[in-house]
Amino acid sequence: MIKVYQPMTFVQSDKPIYLPGQTVHFRVVTLDTKLRPASLLYDTITIEDVNKNRIVQWLNQTSNSKILQLSYSLNSEAREGTYRIIVLTGQDKVYHNFKVEKYVLPKFDVKIDAPDEVSIAQEEIKAEVCAKYTYGPSVPGSAKVKVCRHQTHNSDAVVPCYQETKQVDKKGCATFTFSIPSSSTNVNQKLLLNALDFFAKVEEEGTGKYFHTQKKKIGISSVVGKLYFIDTPKVYHKGSIVEGKIKAVSYNNTPIADMSVYLFEGEGWSLRQLQLLTTQSDGVANFSLNTAGYSLDIKLHAINTKSFGYYRNRPRYYEAGEHRLSPAQQVSPNTKTVSSLEVKQKDKPLSCDTEEEIVIRYSVVGEKQGSVGVTCLVLSRGAIVMQDFKHVEVQEKAGGNPGSFYAVLPSQTVIAVSADFATEKCFRHKVSKTSGNGCSAEIGEESC
């Protein structure tokens, strides 16, 4: 089918809103199929007011392959509402709307600094409200906030709210601490959505007027914590004993001790419970798995309840952890490798004038025995300040020893890993750090 493309006409005003008495500037342009201004005769160009009365009209205007620019001065008593520009060319009409309002530019801006989402188990939520004049200085006065549970649109129920007013500090800010509002009445919980409506407005000192009410929506998550696998290999050799760990943390990432953790194996509805574990003081539970009866992928699940089911439909739940173990297979340059490098992170920033050991674990799977070239790169401020190279012999079922950042496997596959480490403010002092394979460097702020 052959379709003829016609030139397209566009109309754009210089502002979306005008005050009565201001001048409306607008442009009309017609573009051809190559997006070039086309020469076109516009039969009529009209502006209509809020009552669709024609207040001005231009006849037989042409663009002459350029942009046609027109203007019209509004009456100082012009009615407020939506006005419309109409461009007529033959049988085609193009419309563009603008508004006339007696608006006042805000004297200052109000900003809300609050989390986008909170946990249903969170006892305290902190939010900050700040106000600044449009020309820079902070606004003296008081901030008033109102936080309510979000409800369905067709509900007239009285929802629980939190309200408080505070004086702003010298920076024009006030900090509020509150919990998720709960209702003492018999409000149907199905009418309350998992969100908070946060309203904030600031009263300027000495004027008694509130300005610029701001609103933010804060989501409420039903997740009160999560379980996840750590220090667990991704591949296994048939008949070997796989050792791994599961960590349980609350919504604020603090470890959960003495939690019962159920370890499942399988897919979909064919899950099978393997073990019942208990987390230690650091929130970690250790497990081991005999792979003698497996030959395919093993999918592991960790959850805090014996009934897996639709746990996400519960009002409060812990996010389950998942981990997949794949059988070791011979690899080639054309297959995806499961070999990997892992950098063990540090709990604290690297200290100045001390020697640090960085441990890099490697797992080499399905490779022939031979030599692997490993490279350590040390970077500071984005520049390589040192590099080192070393050969490591790959043994059968190798893994779990200190390695480096880049490795070329016998199959010619390259695997790599990187990690950022925070350091103390050393200024002109230097930090000397050494990896487990002998790679070392002196740096000022950042390193491998």
Q: Detail the DSSP E strand segments found in 179-222.
A: 192-204, 210-221
Q: For residue 135, what pLDDT is reported?
A: 77
CB-CB contact of 18 with 98 (8 Å): yes
**Tokens 């129920």 belong to which residue?**
157
CB-CB contact of 98 with 198 (8 Å): no
3-state SS, residue 311: helix
Q: For residue 178, what pLDDT is reported?
A: 94
Q: Which two tokens stand for residue 164?
A: 């408080």
Beta bridge partners of 100: 18, 81
What is the Cα–Cα distance from 439 to 433, expressed in whole angstroms? 8
Q: For residue 365, what pLDDT is reported?
A: 65
What is the Cα–Cα distance from 146 to 216, expressed in whole angstroms? 11
CB-CB contact of 126 with 109 (8 Å): no
- Give the closest residue to 405 by CA, choosing from 394, 416, 420, 419: 416
The string of DSSP codes covering 172-189 is: SEEEEEE-----SS---G
Q: What are the backbone angles phi and psi of residue 128, rounded to the nearest 5°? A: -125, 135
Q: For the chain, which ranges sit under pLDDT 50?
A: 184-185, 396-404, 429, 431-448
CB-CB contact of 323 with 401 (8 Å): no
Q: For residue 424, what pLDDT is reported?
A: 74
3-state SS, residue 313: helix
For the chain, domains (ranges, CATH) are 8-100 (2.60.40.1930), 108-221 (2.60.40.1940), 224-327 (2.60.40.10), 340-443 (no CATH)
**Tokens 């370890």 belong to which residue?**
263
CB-CB contact of 410 with 393 (8 Å): no
Q: For residue 442, what pLDDT is reported?
A: 39
What is the Cα–Cα distance from 284 to 256, expressed in whole angstroms? 8
Residues 6+ apart with CB under 8 A from 343: 358, 359, 360, 405, 417, 418, 419, 448
Q: For residue 194, what pLDDT is reported?
A: 83
CB-CB contact of 11 with 50 (8 Å): no
- Give the closest residue to 183 by CA, choosing from 224, 155, 214: 155
pLDDT single digits (tens) 383-442: 776 677 666 665 544 333 333 455 666 666 666 767 777 777 766 545 444 444 444 433
- Rg for the chain (alpha carbons), in Å? 33
**Tokens 């250790």 belong to which residue?**
286
Q: What are the backbone angles phi and psi of residue 416, rounded to the nearest 5°? A: -150, 160
Compute the C-alpha angle 338/342/344, nearest 5°.
160
Q: For residue 156, what pLDDT is reported?
A: 61
Q: For residue 38, what pLDDT is reported?
A: 87
What is the Cα–Cα distance from 364 to 415, expressed in whole angstroms? 10
Q: Which two tokens stand for residue 376?
A: 């350590």
